[in-house]
C-alpha cells in the first residue's frame, strides 16, 4: 500500500451530505481510517470547526466551500465534490492554496436524463393536476390538453453530457430534438443545433435546461425568454436554480402562457430535509416540484462514491491530479524504489529553474520530473532517491513562490 508522509490513520477525511458508503469503504481499504461521516450538511459554524483539521473533504451540492471556509481549513489537501456541479466551491480560493478539486462528471448523467424524460411525458398528459385531483377524491377523465410526446419538439439548452443523452432517449420516443449550445456540438441521431436561444424557444413544445451555473447562465431564462416560448409549452429545469427567474416562471404559469413545468433546482434550497421548502411555485397544479434529486439514484450515488474517492485517494497516494477541475493536471506513474516530492507553487517566472538549482546544490539526484501549470499555479513532481527525500523537501519549501509541498514514500 503506498505511503504518505503522514501516518494514514492521522489523515482526517471529512465526508458530508451522506455521500455513498462506497466512498467510506474505498478510503478504509486504502488505509484511511480516520473518517468523520455526516449524513447531512453542516451549519456554517459546524463546518468551520469540522474542517479545521481535515485533510480531505467530500461534499455534494449543498455545502458551500467559500473563501472563509478555505481560510479555516489549514490542513486541507483536496476537495471531492460527489456530484457534477462545482459551483458551490470557490475554485479560485482552493487553487491559490494549492488545493485541487475533483468531481464526478458522468456518473449521475443518466439519472437526470431519465427523470427529465419521465417528467416530459407527465407534463404533456397533465398528470400533476389529474393526480392531485384523484388524491382529493376528484376524477378528471378527459383528453383535454393531453398529448403524446411523439412528433413534438424538445428543445435542449446545453448539449453536454446530460443534454446529449436526453437527446438520444427522446428521439427513441419519436420526439424531434433541437438544441442550443454556446459551443458547436456534434448532433446525436437526427437532432439539430440551432443558432440562437430565441430560435429554440420559439420552436419547442418542451424546453429542458442543462447548462452549468456560470455568470453567463445566471437568470438566462427570465420573463423575456419565457414570453418567447410557444403558448402551451412546458419548461423543465434540472440544471441549477440560478438559471431561471422563478418569480417570472410563476407568473407565466399563472397567466396560462405556459402549460406546465418541472423544476428540480431552486435559487434557494433548504439546507436540510428538516427545513421548509419555500417557493412561488408551491400550490401551482401544473408544476412538478422535486427536491434536487435529478442525480439521486442508488446507481448514480454508488458510482459517484467510488469515482470521487478514487480520485482523492490517487492524489493522496500518488500525486495524480488528472480530471481536477481547477488545477494543473498531472498523470503520474507509480514510483517504486523512489520517494516523490510534490511542489505546488505560484506560476511566476523562474520557479522551476530555482527548484532544480536547489535540488542540484543539495546533491540530490532527480530520477524523473513532471510539470504542469495553469494561469495561477504550477505543479512540479520530482522522484528522487529515498535517502535524500527529507533534505530535498526542506530545500524545496524555501523556494520563492512555494504554496505547499509534501513527500510520498
Ligand X SMILES: NC(=O)C1=CN([C@@H]2O[C@H](COP(=O)(O)OP(=O)(O)OC[C@H]3O[C@@H](n4cnc5c(N)ncnc54)[C@H](O)[C@@H]3O)[C@@H](O)[C@H]2O)C=CC1
Q: Check residue 295 for interaction with ligand X (CB under 6 A).
A: yes
Q: Report the alpha-carbon distance of residue 111 to residue 303 in Å, rounded.
A: 12
Number of residues that bind ligand AKG (CB under 6 A): 8
The binder of ligand X chosen from 93, 107, 108, 286 (CB under 6 A): 108
Name 186's Cβ contacts closer than 8 Å, sequence gap at least 6. Answer: none
Residue 169 has phi, psi (to 5 degrees) of: -65, -40
Query: 306, exposed or middle or buried, with CB in 10 Å at 0-12, 13-18, 19+?
Result: middle
Considering only 77-85, 161-169, 242-250, 368-376, which stretch makes contact with ligand AKG by CB under 6 A? 77-85
- How many residues are recorded in the chain? 409
Tell the residue number behind the cell numbers 479555516, with chain if given.
Answer: 72
C-beta separation of 194 from 200 below 8 A: yes
Considering only 129-137, 155-163, 167-175, 325-333, which stretch makes contact with ligand X by CB under 6 A? 155-163
**Which of ligand X, ligand AKG, none does residue 60 bind (CB under 5 to 8 Å by kind)?**
ligand AKG
Q: Check residue 244 for interaction with ligand X (CB under 6 A).
A: no
* Distance set, CA 269 to CA 205, 277, 292, 339 (Å): 28, 7, 8, 46
Comparing CA positions, the residue from 289, 364, 374 lying closest to residue 326 is: 374
Considering only 78-86, 188-196, 271-279, 341-349, which stretch makes contact with ligand AKG by CB under 6 A? 78-86
Q: Report the alpha-carbon distance of residue 102 to residue 58 in Å, rounded.
A: 9
Q: Which is nearer to ligand AKG, 235 or 381 (CB)?
A: 235
Rule CB under 6 A: which of 82-101 touch ligand X? Answer: 84-85
C-beta separation of 172 from 149 below 8 A: no
The binder of ligand AKG chosen from 98, 163, 295, 328 (CB under 6 A): 295
What stretches of 287-343 show up as alpha helix (H) in DSSP?
298-318
Q: Which is nearer to ligand AKG, 86 or 320 (CB)?
A: 86
Task: Check 20, 60, 240, 345 and give the catalytic one.
Answer: 240
β-bridge partners, 392 = none
Site string for ligand X, 112-141 (x = CB under 6 A): x-----------------------------
- Beta strand 338-346 with 402-408 is antiparallel
Residue 210 is among the residues annotated as catalytic for this protein: no
The binder of ligand AKG chosen from 4, 22, 108, 111 (CB under 6 A): 108
* Residue nearest ligand X, CB atom distance: 160
Considering only 107-115, 145-153, 266-274, 339-347, which stretch makes contact with ligand X by CB under 6 A? 107-115
Residue 346 is among the residues annotated as catalytic for this protein: no
Query: 312, exposed or middle or buried, with CB in 10 Å at 0-12, 13-18, 19+?
Result: buried
Site string for ligand X, 41-80 (x = CB under 6 A): ----------------------------------------
Cell numbers of 85, please? 456541479
The binder of ligand AKG chosen from 60, 110, 230, 343 (CB under 6 A): 60
Nearest 5 degrees, angle CA 196-CA 200-CA 203?
Answer: 140
Strands (E), 60-166: 78-81, 101-102, 153-157
Q: Report the alpha-carbon distance of residue 99 to residue 112 in Å, rounded.
A: 29
Q: How far is the CB of 109 from ligand X (least distance, A)?
A: 5
Residue 339 is among the residues annotated as catalytic for this protein: no
Which residues make up the interface to ligand AKG (CB under 6 A)? 60-61, 83-85, 108, 295-296
Which residues make up the interface to ligand X (CB under 6 A)? 84-85, 108-109, 112, 157-163, 180-183, 210-214, 216-217, 238-240, 264-265, 292, 294-295
List the catalytic residues. 240, 269, 292
Amino acid at each position: 500500500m503506498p505511503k504518505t508522509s503522514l501516518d494514514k490513520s492521522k489523515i482526517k477525511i471529512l465526508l458530508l451530505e451522506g455521500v455513498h458508503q462506497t466512498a467510506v469503504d474505498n478510503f478504509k481499504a486504502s488505509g484511511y481510517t480516520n473518517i468523520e461521516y455526516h449524513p447531512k450538511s453542516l451549519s456554517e459554524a459546524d463546518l468551520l470547526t469540522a474542517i479545521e483539521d481535515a485533510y480531505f473533504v467530500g461534499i455534494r451540492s449543498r455545502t458551500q466551500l467559500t473563501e472563509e471556509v478555505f481560510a479555516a481549513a489549514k490542513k486541507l489537501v483536496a476537495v471531492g465534490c460527489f456530484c457534477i456541479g462545482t459551483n458551490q466551491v470557490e475554485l479560485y480560493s482552493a487553487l491559490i492554496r494549492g488545493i485541487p478539486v475533483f468531481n464526478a462528471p458522468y456518473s449521475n448523467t443518466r439519472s437526470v436524463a431519465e427523470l427529465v424524460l419521465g417528467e416530459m411525458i407527465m407534463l404533456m398528459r397533465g398528470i400533476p393536476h389529474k393526480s392531485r385531483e384523484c388524491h382529493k377524491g376528484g376524477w378528471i377523465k378527459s383528453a383535454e390538453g393531453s398529448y403524446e410526446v411523439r412528433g413534438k419538439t424538445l428543445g435542449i439548452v446545453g448539449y453536454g453530457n446530460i443534454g446529449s443523452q436526453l437527446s438520444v432517449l427522446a428521439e427513441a420516443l419519436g420526439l424531434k430534438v433541437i438544441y442550443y449550445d454556446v459551443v458547436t456540438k456534434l448532433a446525436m441521431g437526427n437532432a439539430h443545433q440551432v443558432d440562437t436561444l430565441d430560435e429554440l424557444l420559439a420552436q419547442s413544445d418542451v424546453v429542458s435546461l442543462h447548462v452549468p451555473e456560470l455568470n453567463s447562465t445566471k437568470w438566462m431564462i427570465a420573463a423575456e425568454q419565457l414570453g418567447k416560448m410557444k403558448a402551451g409549452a412546458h419548461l423543465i429545469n434540472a440544471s441549477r436554480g440560478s438559471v431561471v427567474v422563478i418569480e417570472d416562471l410563476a407568473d407565466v404559469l399563472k397567466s396560462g402562457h405556459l402549460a406546465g413545468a418541472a423544476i428540480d433546482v431552486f435559487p434557494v434550497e433548504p439546507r436540510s430535509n428538516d427545513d421548509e421548502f419555500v417557493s412561488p411555485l408551491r400550490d401551482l397544479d401544473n408544476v412538478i416540484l422535486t427536491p434536487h434529486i435529478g442525480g439521486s439514484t442508488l446507481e448514480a450515488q454508488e458510482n459517484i462514491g467510488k469515482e470521487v474517492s478514487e480520485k482523492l485517494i490517487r492524489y493522496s497516494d500518488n500525486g495524480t491530479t488528472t480530471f481536477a477541475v481547477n488545477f494543473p493536471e498531472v498523470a503520474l506513474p507509480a514510483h517504486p524504489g523512489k520517494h516523490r516530492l510534490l511542489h505546488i507553487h505560484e506560476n511566476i517566472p523562474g520557479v522551476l529553474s530555482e527548484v532544480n538549482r536547489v535540488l542540484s546544490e543539495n546533491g540530490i539526484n532527480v530520477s524523473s520530473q513532471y510539470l504542469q501549470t495553469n494561469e495561477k499555479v504550477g505543479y512540479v513532481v520530482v522522484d528522487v532517491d529515498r535517502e535524500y527525500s527529507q533534505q530535498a523537501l526542506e530545500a524545496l519549501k524555501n523556494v520563492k513562490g512555494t504554496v505547499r509541498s509534501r513527500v510520498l514514500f
